[in-house]
Structure 1
Amino acid sequence: MPAPKDILDTLHSLVDRDICIMHICGTHEAAIARSGIRSVLPERLKIVMGPGCPVCITPQGEIDAALDLARKDCVIATYGDLLRVPGTKGSLESSGGDVRVVQGVHKAAEIARREPEKEVVFISVGFETTAPTVAATILTKPPENFSILSCHRLVPPAMEWLLAQGEAQLHGFMLPGHVCTVMGYHEYERFPVPQVVAGFEPDDILLGLVMIAQQIREGAARIDNAYPRAVCREGNEKAQNLMYDVFEPADVEWRGFPVIPQSGLRLKPEFEQYDAQKKFGIEVRHVEKHSACICDKVLRGIARPSDCKLFGKACTPRNPVGPCMVSHEGACKIWHLYEARRG
């Protein structure tokens, strides 16, 4: 890999027009903000955040469904990031229910085996990165008192929606490195825009930007792989097969987005005994937004966290109004930690 200064010099020489690149990965945003990458970019190159935080794009209706399950005396097992995401009436942290932080779905299944007298529900959040591990656990035939609330999302349909809307006037995408490790990047070849798969070190991100800028200069639209040490075109086919053995695509709502066709994952009929929604008769309802929070715009790449009048004032990591201030992959929390300090 070229030296960082060489990469930067090349990038500055390539950018001769206004360019807007969207990344779809909270870890990319954290790396960009933590290392101050935006401060060294060409003035005419802008990087915006997309719907790359799985906790952030979980709609309020699904948070409310998790709270309903807690009120039914279920043990709620979930990732720590989800605890303080506000629902219509409080959060899992404030619900008073038996809510336990776990490191993964296998730990939730262990709780169910250890406490057979209790119903254990795992709030199964994540993109294609985490869905295969959930599928693998389901295939082990966990106990009858175990179920999941599937909140999984698929990245390509969201990208298709963003391109169709044209809100952010995007010139290219930095694809999600973790998702592409599992899924490869062949699914993204249908999008007629410059794209690059990038890793998470500052040099990786800068190299990815150079590759996109080169495509734009050439008038090309392809996928360049700047992360070959972890990603190949086909991805991890065994993990993909596991995921689709257990799950099937479904039309679902994203926070900040309408219902996007075939953008979620639901359990196939033969695994419905593990579907908490059906098991407990829980309905996921659409919830209208009533606060001044602009997480929806941040997730669509048409606003920055600092554009929100609540940012760092009424909305902080300790007292979040919106989900983007909760998760370590949320743009608002990342900006509160890094960008705000730079003024």
Structure 2
Amino acid sequence: MKYLDEFSDPDLARRLVEEIRATVTRPWAMMEVCGGQTHSIIRHGIDQLLPDEIEMIHGPGCPVCVTPLEIIDKAMEIASRPDVTFCSFGDMLRVPGSDKDLFRIKSAGGDVRVVYSPLDALKLARENPDRQVVFFGIGFETTAPPNAMTVYQAQKLGIDNFSLLVSHVRVPPAIEAIMQSPTCRVQGFLAAGHVCSVMGTEEYPALAEAFKVPIVVTGFEPLDILEGIRLTVHQLEKGEHRVENAYQRAVPAEGNPAAKAMLADVFEVTDRSWRGIGMIPQSGWRLSERYREYDAEHRFDVADITTQESTVCRSGEVLQGLIKPHDCSAFGTLCTPRNPLGATMVSSEGACAAYYLYRRLDAPAKREVSSVG
């Protein structure tokens, strides 16, 4: 298959669904880890095509959603300073902190800018040596390498007015934390293909063996996801728990060696808080000692900011797969994309945003496979 529309072919989708129906004999609950996969599932109605025995649990794989509130508030504090140009991707500007977001900082006169690459922020620093330029570095293993490369370049070029506010998280420790939760119902995982394209698959066999769960590396198009579900169901029905790569066109087993080497040089593994979930040991990165001078938390002395989450927003339970977005009483009423209570309603990969955008206001009704898309 060479073209994207081929990965939405309704005839092939129907055949995959029929095979899943023919294979499944009992209820199974599986989690798609990535928020991009969640949006694809809801957008294309994949959960409505599946047999009743298959439940898709939406995981914490939205990088904006899991960025902890204290990091958001640190971003507000730094961005409010008159000598700072604060740079971010656009999806972070409306994520609510304790009492405001980056748009409000910008409207109050703060120099907040949307950029398309961390290298754009580095260029601003080079062109404006009298200002401190900060880039908000969030995300999983996918976005960490370009941020690491930018810090590497800043040091190499001697640009000392650039820094990185780091909130990078790692997927495998999150899977471990989910499986160790006493409320966990997950019996299999669709692993995020773009994460594995960077890191490879070597961290997953130990998890599959330890928790007796199949882990299938999966892409993002409808046929990718249905194939991932099919392979997961086959393993579950046979009592197997292996790692399978259903996204081989993008994911080599070893990942991207150059990107991994850059990560190992610039970052070091650390404990990291996840919004709505809490602290997960060894689940994040911070700048290594060699590059610590580029750490915005230390440069602007904001490491001690603490916060309190909203008592109304239930996004933490959504991120843990304990409830669906429409199970929250604030969903679609007190909490909308125009007035979000939590990051899951803001992000382009957030589960609440997906349910709102595609009008999933209550439990999904099943439908026939007449079309996908």
The verdict on a shared fold, with TM-score over 0.5 as the criterion, is yes
1:116, distance to aligned residue in structure 2 (A): 1.2
- Structure 2 residue 22 is the aligned partner of structure 1 residue 13: yes
1:5, distance to aligned residue in structure 2 (A): 1.9
Q: Is the 8 A contact 1:64 1:284 kept in 2?
A: no
2:256 aligned to 236, 239, 248, which one? 236
RMSD in angstroms over aligned alpha carbons? 1.5
Name the structure 2 match of 1:105: 118
Q: Secondary structure at the match of 1:55?
A: helix
Paired residues in the alignment total 343
Q: Is the 8 A contact 1:65 1:284 kept in 2?
A: no
Name the structure 2 match of 1:288: 308
1:266 aligned to 283, 286, 298, which one? 286
Structure 2 unaligned regions, length at least 5: 2-10, 366-373
1:234, distance to aligned residue in structure 2 (A): 1.1
Structure 1 unaligned regions, length at least 5: none
- Structure 2 residue 128 is the aligned partner of structure 1 residue 115: yes
TM-score (norm 2): 0.89
Q: Matches of 1:46 and 1:323 in 2, distance apart?
A: 24
Query: Cα 1:262–1:288, aligned 2, differ >3 Å: closer, same or farther?
Result: same
1:258, distance to aligned residue in structure 2 (A): 2.0
1:340 aligned to 346, 350, 360, which one? 360
1:3, distance to aligned residue in structure 2 (A): 2.2
Deviations 1:272-297 (A, max 9, x none): 11111111111254423233111000
Q: Secondary structure at the match of 1:51?
A: strand
Name the structure 2 match of 1:163: 179
Name the structure 2 match of 1:172: 188
Q: Matches of 2:224 and 2:104 in 1, distance apart?
A: 40
Q: Is the 8 A contact 1:20 1:171 kept in 2?
A: yes
Q: Matches of 2:13 and 2:63 in 1, distance apart?
A: 31
Percentage of matched positions with identical amino acids: 42
Question: AA paired with 2:337?
Answer: P
Q: Secondary structure at the match of 2:307?
A: coil
Q: Matches of 1:155 and 1:296 in 2, distance apart?
A: 17
Matches within 5 A, 1:155-234: 155-191=171-207, 192=209, 193-234=213-254
Name the structure 2 match of 1:94: 104
Question: AA paired with 1:82?
Answer: M
Matches within 5 A, 1:261-340: 261-340=281-360
Q: Secondary structure at the match of 2:78?
A: helix
TM-score (norm 1): 0.97
Q: Matches of 1:125 and 1:304 in 2, distance apart?
A: 25
Question: AA paired with 2:196?
Answer: C
2:54 aligned to 45, 58, 63, which one? 45
